[in-house]
Structure 1
Amino acid sequence: LDYLQSLGVDALWLSPIYDSPNDDNGYDIRDYRAIMDEMGTMEDFDLLLEEVHEHGMRLIMDLVVNHSSDEHAWFQEALNNPESPYRSYYFFRPGADGLPNNWRSYFSGPAWRYYPEQDVYTLHLFSEKQPDLNWDHEPMRQDIEEMVRWWLDKGVDGFRLDVINYISKREGLPDGNDTIRDLITFGGIENYFYGPNLNKYLRELRREAFDPYDAFSVGETPGIGLELGRLLSGADRKELDLVFNFDQLEAPGKARFDDYSYDLNYLKKYYIKYHSRLSANDWMSIFWENHDHPRMISKVNPDPRQRRLLAKLLLVWLLTMKGTPFVYQGQELGAVNQKFSSIADMRDVETVNLYAELSAEQGEESAWATVLTGSRDHARVPMNWDETPGNGFSTVEAWLPRPERDDGWSVAAQEADPDSVLADFRRLMALRKQYTALRRGSISFIKEKKHNYFAYLREWQGEKILVELNLSDLSHLRSQASAGDKLLYTNVKPAEQEEAGRRRLLPYQAAIYLCK
């Protein structure tokens, strides 16, 4: 917590720490009111919450309520007792007629698990050990709301809501369209990605659980796009405070498991377009890394010679764009993808299942190349605290050990380097706190069509901050900064800038100016 406080962090978001069999990294919850044994006890959590608040930060938990674990007491009773009231908490269908529909799981195969002893199918959009909850059943919703209030009574400050736009399914669970399935793989998605009662259920959850505590909510909402995202997070809608929209994470026509170089010009166009549609009623989250996606540096340019500059450029962008920035652990260090050597190194259920499916279709070599590109495990290795065995995370082998050393990029190594990514992260956070324009100011974009160049002006009550970014590994002429502007930050050394001349932006250079 001292480390997070030294970074200038305002809130800590925890991935799931509830009791779980860990089929999907804790996103399969067995008991919503207990702590996973591997994470400690409820007393440990209470102490953590107290210490977070004493450090002047807030604690955000991960709320996974599209599905539970198949080991949850609700599901076990529902499975083994057809007359149980908990049967209606899930989607059970008789087994006699075969698969109930053609929906596909995100973790490979049909979205239905068959239980031969009971002769029933249950719906699971994700792992077969993650049966979907039936939000159309009011008693289930009430139990969820009661559970949320229980945590908020403890003092938790809010929740990130996992795949929350999937909670409302179209009545009857009809077959998915074949063309849509062929285009995006996930058959049936049009029947639940923005279901008929989604807005109703989110308003109810906010009214009954969040609003009485003035609690924060951010929804993971894959596939909804800009306008539907505004419907979910508009201030007057009373549904979510923010959403995570994922359209910026992959280039058009590409998916996470495609091997390609990500063009930062697309990220630029995405934010320009998004901000052009926002009103005073809207606010957006700013992010491009989390526990479900490979590291952005590796996607843009894996050349180790560019790592430091590129890491700093991305941090300038993240911390000066209009919106609420979400920093995933390791971004402040310039973390990159891991050099896994075989599927035996992997733990992610999505990766393991996809590898098995692709190996049968196209062979192990091709399957390995695909899963290595997009595996979630790249972002799930332990934090790189130091360069001792275990990297300061543990004295025993971790559940997902780092496959190799990354000397010079640990917290300990960077603490001793005044030019490190970590040092610059702290500088940028200090600027963000010092200048209100960087937190609350308007944003206007400059020379929007200029390729590999991104510049914008943040303004607040006469305070003007200019940000210029070179999105490539080549030098470019500046377009905006004037001689009277005060340089607040740049990620290149003064001698390098002097040699290139003031009118040039060096490769992956980022610069922040206080305008006269």
Structure 2
Amino acid sequence: MTDTQQQTGRLVPEDERTWWKESVVYQIYPRSFADSNGDGVGDIPGIIDRLDHVADLGVDVIWLNPVYESPQRDNGYDISDYRAIHDEYGTMADWEALLEAVHDRGMKLVMDLVVNHTSVDHDWFQRSRARDPEYEDYYIWREGDGDGPPNNWESFFGGSAWEYDEKRGEYYLHLYDTSQPDLNWRNPAVRQDIFDTIEWWLEKGIDGFRMDVINLLSKAPGLPDGDPDGEWVGSEHFVDGPEMLPYLEALDEQVLSNYDILTVGEMPQLTVETARRYAGEDGPLDMAFHFQHTKLDYDGGERWAVGDWELPELKEITRRWHRGLDDDGWNALYWENHDQPRVVSRYGDPENYRHESATLLGTFMLTRSGTPYVYQGQELGMTNADWESMESLQDVDAQNHARKLLDSGDHDEFDDIADVVGYRSRDNARTPMQWSDDENAGFTDGEPWLSVNANYETVNAAADGGDSVTEYYRSLIDLRDQYDSFVYGRYDDLHPDHERLYAYTQTLDDADGRVHEQMLSVLNFSETTATVDLPTTVDGASLLLSNYDRDAVAPTTDHEPYEARVFQLE
């Protein structure tokens, strides 16, 4: 405990505290973080070289995207060997050096767990397609219906979720890319192999897992057709399937519960109710990622169409998740990750108020109860890039959907769809980290695997000093470390219908229901000056932090565009 923490007071008893609830997580996408050898691809030694940048933010945990052996069809989420390091990223010795360096800096390391599917290059799949008796049933194979695939399920990346394999003479299921066949979790041997692999990594000293699309493991018996008009055709038969909870409970009982670790599940179509089932007080996981707030700008709910969004929608989603998990569960807070475009370009103003909107969005994430996840470059206010051709895209998902849009006959050329594909592409989150205004943003001495965002000369870590987005993130994380109410407090929305200003409190009560500590955040989510009426109880508000240059200000005075203010209330 620091002197500052002693002065401000830690109000939650030690036996009620949990390290992963009090942590701030920083996500590293290794392919794009730092290249140490000039081959244009980020690597583990590069991460070690830049580790002090992460530690200096004040974060507690690093989540490392996959570095396992992989043909990189989906940038590492197509794993061919769970117990080896992909050679472009380094060696197992490099990984061990990274783990030691992270721990030496007082941080923890969480690995990505991808066990819904493997790569087609995995030995298990090669032996399964060859009908090796030991592995024949490791994947989901079907003969088809005579005219084509066994059912109408769709891949998330577009097209049928089934691919015909000439060698085996059957179709295999792939809910993502054709190179990512789904494992057959009904087979006990599959589950045991996965459990053994998870334990192998935990024994190497890691501190937890982020679990990729973990609620897709269980498929409905008989694999029936899905609703052809559904958002993801077939998902009612493979999202939260009948054996999903038992699978995770067995994993927890046999492996996870033996270690003091962080576990967070990425769960498509997650609801508050299912979140409590998986990550409630008695659930097998600590927390789960939902996607509801990342779909505000979907036009008519359509991912590959861009529409306007309204602040009350964000408030309603936020309120629902806080209320739903206050007593049974824990929120995972995030804006960006390797699959989400840059939030400043979506919910802020990258042209006129990049600094202000980047820091406001960071304030919203870091001043509420839950565990925040900061994605690399978010602390710089990095933005979406410009994508001028199909060839400039590396994201297999964006490429597939671009072809689908062009094949529909509604568009003649890439220029017709460049705005929506460029806005939505996952490549926006994967452009190389912008370290400096040197060539290739200081990411590599070679040719980068993905083009660097053209604004790197002004948006980079070296230029982002003093009154910067990065410094503001440090201040936010420091505040979170000082005051328990930001972590364990009760969230209350003060004006759910206000269309520009977002005002909420985080309140920490004692056992008798008396207020111990209360914080107020007021955020202007617009490019115009705005005001809001607040309760008289804010009269004694003391300003703790603002993204504008202010020594003191009242919560109710005019808020400048994208201004964020954080107060402590009497």
Q: Any idea what the Cα deviations from partners look like across 1:93-139, whole Å, max 9, x if unmatched?
A: 22572311111111121111112243211110111010000111111
Is this contact kept in 1: 2:436–2:456, CA < 8 A?
A: no
- Whole-Å Cα distance in 2 between the matches of residues 142 and 12 of structure 1? 27
Q: Give, in angstroms, the shift of residue 501 of structure 1.
A: 10
Q: Give, in angstroms, the shift of residue 322 of structure 1.
A: 1.4
- Counterpart of 1:6, as a letter, is D
- Counterpart of 1:310, as a letter, is S
Which of the numbers 343, 348, 362 marks the counterpart of 2:395?
348
1:66 is aligned to 2:106? no
Structure with more of its chain in helix, by fraction = 1
Is this contact kept in 2: 1:169–1:192, CA < 8 A?
A: yes
CA distance change for structure 1 residues 329 and 405 in 2, over 3 Å: closer, same or farther? same
Match of 1:228?
274
1:433 is aligned to 2:494? no
SS at match of 1:85: coil
Q: Give, in angstroms, the shift of residue 62 of structure 1.
A: 0.5
Q: Give, in angstroms, the shift of residue 198 of structure 1.
A: 0.3
Match of 2:560?
506
CA distance change for structure 1 residues 333 and 129 in 2, over 3 Å: closer, same or farther? same
Further displaced range: 365-374 or 44-53: 365-374
Q: Could you say which structure has the greater relative contact order, defined with CA pairs below 8 angstroms and 6 or more residues apart?
A: 2
Match of 1:257?
304
Is this contact kept in 2: 1:256–1:373, CA < 8 A?
A: no
Q: Give, in angstroms, the shift of residue 177 of structure 1.
A: 1.7
CA distance change for structure 1 residues 306 and 514 in 2, over 3 Å: closer, same or farther? same
Which of the numbers 76, 83, 93 marks the counterpart of 2:142?
93
- Whole-Å Cα distance in 2 between the matches of residues 456 and 40 of structure 1? 46
Q: Any idea what the Cα deviations from partners look like across 1:61-96, whole Å, max 9, x if unmatched?
A: 11000000000000001111x242212110112257
1:206 is aligned to 2:247? no
Match of 1:491?
547
- Whole-Å Cα distance in 2 between the matches of residues 211 and 249 of structure 1? 31
CA distance change for structure 1 residues 382 and 57 in 2, over 3 Å: closer, same or farther? same
Is this contact kept in 2: 1:261–1:300, CA < 8 A?
A: no
Q: Give, in angstroms, the shift of residue 257 of structure 1.
A: 2.3
1:192 is aligned to 2:238? yes
SS at match of 2:464: helix
- Whole-Å Cα distance in 1 between the matches of residues 462 and 171 of structure 2? 51
- Whole-Å Cα distance in 2 between the matches of residues 138 and 121 of structure 1? 22
SS at match of 1:458: strand
- 1:271-350 to structure 2, matched below 5 A, reads 271-350=318-397
Q: Give, in angstroms, the shift of residue 280 of structure 1.
A: 2.2
Is this contact kept in 2: 1:210–1:216, CA < 8 A?
A: no
Is this contact kept in 2: 1:158–1:216, CA < 8 A?
A: yes
- Counterpart of 1:86, as a letter, is Y
Match of 2:52?
2
Q: Give, in angstroms, the shift of residue 372 of structure 1.
A: 1.3
CA distance change for structure 1 residues 352 and 478 in 2, over 3 Å: closer, same or farther? same
Match of 1:54?
104
Is this contact kept in 1: 2:174–2:180, CA < 8 A?
A: yes
| CA RMSD, Structure 1 to Structure 2 (Å) | 1.9
- Whole-Å Cα distance in 2 between the matches of residues 330 and 255 of structure 1? 27
- Whole-Å Cα distance in 2 between the matches of residues 144 and 439 of structure 1? 33
- Counterpart of 1:209, as a letter, is V
Match of 1:244?
289
- Whole-Å Cα distance in 2 between the matches of residues 450 and 219 of structure 1? 33
- 1:14-93 to structure 2, matched below 5 A, reads 14-80=64-130, 82-93=131-142
Is this contact kept in 2: 1:256–1:293, CA < 8 A?
A: no
- Whole-Å Cα distance in 1 between the matches of residues 519 and 472 of structure 2? 18
Is this contact kept in 2: 1:291–1:376, CA < 8 A?
A: yes
Match of 1:446?
494
Q: Give, in angstroms, the shift of residue 261 of structure 1.
A: 3.5
Is this contact kept in 1: 2:57–2:477, CA < 8 A?
A: yes
- Whole-Å Cα distance in 2 between the matches of residues 309 and 405 of structure 1? 17
Match of 2:264?
218
Gaps of 5+ in 2: 1-50, 511-515
Is this contact kept in 2: 1:438–1:465, CA < 8 A?
A: yes
- Whole-Å Cα distance in 2 between the matches of residues 25 and 211 of structure 1? 30
Match of 2:12?
none
CA distance change for structure 1 residues 74 and 15 in 2, over 3 Å: closer, same or farther? same
- Whole-Å Cα distance in 2 between the matches of residues 453 and 409 of structure 1? 27
Which of the numbers 164, 170, 178 marks the counterpart of 1:128?
178
1:399 is aligned to 2:449? yes
Q: Give, in angstroms, the shift of residue 421 of structure 1.
A: 0.9
CA distance change for structure 1 residues 438 and 100 in 2, over 3 Å: closer, same or farther? same
- Counterpart of 1:449, as a letter, is D
SS at match of 1:12: strand
SS at match of 1:439: helix
Q: Give, in angstroms, the shift of residue 220 of structure 1.
A: 0.4
- Counterpart of 1:85, as a letter, is E
- Whole-Å Cα distance in 2 between the matches of residues 145 and 333 of structure 1? 38
Is this contact kept in 2: 1:257–1:375, CA < 8 A?
A: no
Q: Any idea what the Cα deviations from partners look like across 1:428-463, whole Å, max 9, x if unmatched?
A: 111111112112222222132333222122223512
Match of 1:169?
219
CA distance change for structure 1 residues 279 and 429 in 2, over 3 Å: closer, same or farther? closer
- Whole-Å Cα distance in 1 between the matches of residues 539 and 221 of structure 2? 63
- Counterpart of 1:235, as a letter, is E
- Counterpart of 2:365, as a letter, is L
1:477 is aligned to 2:526? no
- Counterpart of 2:186, as a letter, is D
- Whole-Å Cα distance in 2 between the matches of residues 358 and 61 of structure 1? 35
- Whole-Å Cα distance in 1 between the matches of residues 479 and 420 of structure 2? 40
- Counterpart of 2:528, as a letter, is L
